[in-house]
Structure formats: structure tokens, C-alpha cells
A and B are shown apart, each in its own frame.
Chain A
Amino acid sequence: MPVEIPKDKWTGKVRTVTLGATAAEGGTRTKSIVVGGDTTMPFMQFEAPTAHTPVIAIEIKSRKPDDWSSLLEETWGSVMSDPAAWAKAAEAAGADMIVLWLSLEDTADDAMRAVKSVLAATGLPLAVYGPGQVDKDNELLVAVSESANGEKLLLGICEDKNYRTIAATSMANGHLITARTAMDVNLAKQLNILISDMGLPLDRVIMDPTTGALGYGMEYGYSVMERLRLAALQGDAMTQLPMMVTPGFETWKTKESKVGVGVPEAWGDWKERAIHWETLTATALLESGASIVVLRHPESLKRVRTAITELMTA
């Protein structure tokens, strides 16, 4: 007896967002990336083909981080002291996109120089994140935004505390922003409303609903993302934004990934465990609706890529 697979029919659609501008579009990227456009829950290819393949970004820093796992230092080596070389290595490792985090010690000049060097070293679309303190973020990101006018950078992190400054500079210089809220559907939607009220078109906004690592609240983040996607498909315009999450950042601060000694032997090989942690967290988040996952380890990138390829053809 033939079994008919039940299919959901949705009225809403996630907005399509383009990151990075090529020469033809007024920038210098060798290609741009399109995310979003989803009309179903993730990877329900039998309902409708996934509009755009999810994207893997690699996180790099403007200065060599002193709190990263030695496993990451081992794999990236000396490029970690040079953002341009690091970006090149990330591209060689297969990244679709680079996320450059600026540092607290950076001046506006340092930040502009770092961004310029990364733009020169790779043709991939680029996200630039401030160090995470509102005043410093505003100072650095406004300078970067103006100096990289027209590149369609993704500027972050834009939160309820500073969205006005970041949205304004993005509007003036042709960039995009990430709207980040702390794992809460109501707050996520509210920030989108506020940004939209400022006049920034929502096809220049990516939501970062924040997540936790496997074992550290990932399931909570998963539910929030799932609910946002369901609302988007049901037609709620203020939730119809592609989502970007940072499983690399989240998993590499867990004890399971960070520590190789003094942990139970049953935990197994440290490096394998750390990569599993990042890969599994990222894959689960793709399943909950992420369009962009930001990773740290090139081996995780490879494995998540395999998962995406299989999910896209399943």
C-alpha cells in the first residue's frame, strides 16, 4: 500500500539576504553569499527544496587570542597572529565566509587596518564583530563601516543596547547587521521591530538568537530557533530573518573541549571529543534553522560540510 508522506503547507517565507558585494555590486568580493529564502522547516526537501545551502563561517581574531584551546593553536599555528594569513588559511580550509572579531586593545586605525588586510587576503564575504563592549564596539564598527563602504559587510554584534549606532552606520555605508538577543523569542522579535522602525530594510539583517553548546543549553537555543522559524513560516514578518549562530564560540569554552587533562578517561581522546562537540552542536543548530554556523576548527568544518551536503540531497 502506498504511504503518502504528510506535507506541511506554509504561507510565510524567510527573507533572502545577500552578504558581500562583488565588483559589479560596488565591492571587492570575488563572490557573494545568499542565505534564507526558506519555505519549509529545515531540510524538508520533500516539501520544497532548501532555497539556499547553509553557510559555514570560520571565526578569526584581529589579534592572537590568549584564551583559545591549544588544540586550535596547534591546527592554525602561526597564522593566528596575522588576520590576513588566518583568513587565507580559513578560505583554504573550505570556509564560505570569514567572521573577524576585533579586540578590546584595537584602536579604530588597528581595526580598519585588520579589516582591510583581510579583505585583500580573501575574496570571501566578511563579517566584522566588535569586542563586545558597547562603547568600544560602536567606536570600532563605525570606523570599519565607513572605511569599507559598499562591501556589504555583516556588522555585529548589534544588541538592544547599541542597535541604533550599528544600524545607522550600516544604513549609511551599505552593510548588513546581526541582531543578537539572549535566547528569547520575544526579545528577538522586538529587536527586529526596533531595527525595522529605524528604516534599515530587513533584508539586511541576520538574526543571532544566541545558542548554547551541547550540554550547556543547546536544546533551549534549539527550541527558540525552531519557534522563530515556525513563526516565520506562519507569516510573522518580524521573524522572517535568516539565523546565524556561533557553535564554535560556545563549544570551545566548555570543559569537554577546553581541557585535556584531569578529566575521566572514559571521555576518550581530547581532540576527537572537542571536534565532536563543535560538529554535533553545529549540525543540531542547522537542523533547527540556522543559515550560518560560525566554527573554529577546520576539521569540524569538514564534518559539518559533509552533513550539510547529505542533508541537502536527502
Chain B
Amino acid sequence: MYIIGENIHIISEKVKEALINRDREFFMDLAVKQVEAGASAVDINLGPRKKDWAEVFPWMVEAVESVVDVPLSIDTTNIDGMEAALKTIKKNQPILNSTSAEPERLQKIPLLAKKYGAKVIALTMAAEGIPVSADDRVNIAVEKLIPRMMEIDFPMSDLIIDPLVLTTSGCQQYCPHLIETVRTLQYAWEPAPIISVGLSNVSNAVPNENRPLINRVYLSMLMGVGLQMMIANPFDKDQNNVIKWIETKDMSTSLSRLYNKIAERIAASDEPQPEDFDMQDPEQGAIWKTTQILLNKVIYADGYLNQ
């Protein structure tokens, strides 16, 4: 699993404060720790920075690149900010995060990526908003995103498609669609496009104590349909265990067998079954309930584990 570490994100209070103080050490440390924890790239999401982009983006890139040797993912809607970052990056092929199928962004951002030899993450989102069905998302990729890349002679190996994870709290009915989108996208083009998701979106608006469980159960399902890249929290040890178990087909514990079973079921276009779970074990019971929420079998509620 290629993890783009998500922790340098302006939504975090600590990041916000460190940025105000231009605390270089803080960001260097956070980048190093993410890579040590297994991140293959580091995402940098500072928001649009409409006023100070010319100063902030190069400053951040320089700080992070001085201590880690992995690609940086420039996560902003500000195209000028993106370019300022790209001009500063020296070490590895950067990732632009992101374009969508909205005409203006799709016009400019792939050209920018091409100019600087960057990879680009393209969201399956058009001007009309986020499409909900699997078919609609695949269609955006095949009819809008990929043709635009071909038009400008952009290497397909540098295109990463993000089919947009939606939260189980409020958009639950679309969680199964995303799984099917990831499955189908791999057959939508030859060679199969690289796919990445923002995993933790699946638990947006969920109480914090339940988020990691929802994230890792969804991850096991997505790995079942072949997910190999995601933006995620590399510090989540339970999540990293699930990745390792599924990647190595580790059957040594009841939990590793269970997560492998979930991945297998989803891989076979099947659903996890009650007999896959030891319901006497509270942890397995909680995982079962989570699969039912994520497959839209049972309506999500904040207290779903207590039901």
C-alpha cells in the first residue's frame, strides 16, 4: 500500500498554529515521523492561502524536503500556490492534488503537471457536483479525465484517479458505490489507471472514537477490490496491521484471518457473512456491525456499535 501521509493538514489545530508561527521544526518533525511510520509520500494541505501563497508554499516545501526523501503531494485549490511549490521541489517527482473534471481545473492543472513532470490526482467530480453512482464516476474518468490527459499527451502512468470517498454518516448509501467504482475503474482502461482514495473521508462527522474502526474495515473492503494507494494517517497502527495482514495474507490470528476474509468476500463480489465472525468476541462483533453500516445494510447512527 502506497500511503500519502495526510497529517500536514490545515484542519488540524496544531498545524494551524505551527503555520502561523512558521515553526519549521514542527513540520520537519511531522514529515519525518510520517515517513518513519510508513508513508511513501507526504501530503501538504495548507488550504488556498490566497494572500500569502507566494511565500508559504516554497517555505513549506523547502522545510519538508530538507528532511525527507519522498515525493510531496501539493494539496490545494490554489493553482498559483501549486506552481510556487512545484518550482521549489528538487528531490522527487511531485504529486498535484488535485484536479477534477470541472472545465477550468481540468484545463489548467494537467498542463501544470506536465510542465513540471508531476503526477496528478484527478477526482471523478464534474461541475455538477459529486456523482453518486459507480457508473457515473467511472464515466467521468473515462469520458473526461482520461481523454484530457491523452489530449495533452500526459503520461498515463502519472495519472492517479480518486473516485471520492463519501462519509458513512449521511452519505452511507454511496459507500458501496465507491467500492464498485474502485473495482470497475481498473478495467476501464488499458493499462489500468492508478487509483487512490482519501480513506478517512468515510468517517467524516463520525464521533472520533469510532473513526479508526470504520476506516480500517472500509480499507479491508477496498483492498479486496485492489486498492493500492491512499491518502491516510500513517500513524494508525491498527490500520497498518490490516494492510500488512491483507498484503501478506497473514492467517496467524483470528483478527488477521477475519480482515482477510472480508477482503476475499468483497473481491468475489460477495458480502461478509455472520458465520465469518466470532460474535462472542466483542471486537469481531464491532467489525461485523461496521461492515453492515458500510455496505448500507443497516442505517448508520453514531451509537451503531451499541445497538
Contact = CB atoms under 8 A, between A and B. Distances in A.
Contacts of B299: 185-186, 189, 227-228, 231, 236, 238-239
Interface stretch (A58-66, A114-122, A131-139, A190-198): A190-198
Interface in B47-101: none
Contacts of B306: 193, 197
Nearest to A238: B307
A189 B297 contact: no
23 contacts: A186-B169, A186-B172, A186-B299, A186-B301, A189-B300, A189-B304, A190-B302, A190-B303, A192-B301, A193-B301, A193-B303, A193-B304, A193-B306, A193-B307, A194-B303, A227-B299, A231-B298, A231-B299, A234-B297, A236-B299, A237-B307, A238-B299, A238-B307
Contact of A190 (B172, B297, B298, B301): B301
B147 interface: no
B155 interface: no
A264 B238 CA distance: 64
Contacts of A197: 303, 306
Interface in B270-307: 297-304, 306-307
Contact of A186 (B297, B300, B307): B300
With a 10 A CB-CB cut-off, give which of A186, A227, A234, A236 has the most chain B CB atoms.
A186
B170 interface: yes
Nearest to B306: A193
Decide if the interface of chain A is mainly helix, strand, loop or mixed: helix
A238 B307 CA distance: 7
A234 B296 CA distance: 12
A216 to B, nearest CB: 22
Nearest to B297: A234
With a 10 A CB-CB cut-off, give which of A189, A192, A237 has the most chain B CB atoms.
A189
Interface string A221-253: 000000110010010111100000000000000
B169 to A, nearest CB: 6
A164 to B, nearest CB: 15
B178 to A, nearest CB: 18
Contacts of A236: 298-299
A118 to B, nearest CB: 35
A185 B170 CA distance: 8
A101 to B, nearest CB: 29
Contacts of B169: 186
A116 B169 CA distance: 43
Contacts of B302: 186, 190
A170 B25 CA distance: 58
Interface string A202-236: 00000000000000000000000001100100101
A218 B158 CA distance: 47
A228 B297 CA distance: 12
Contacts of A187: 301
Closest 7 CB pairs of A and B: A190-B301, A189-B301, A193-B303, A231-B299, A189-B299, A190-B302, A186-B300
B102 to A, nearest CB: 27
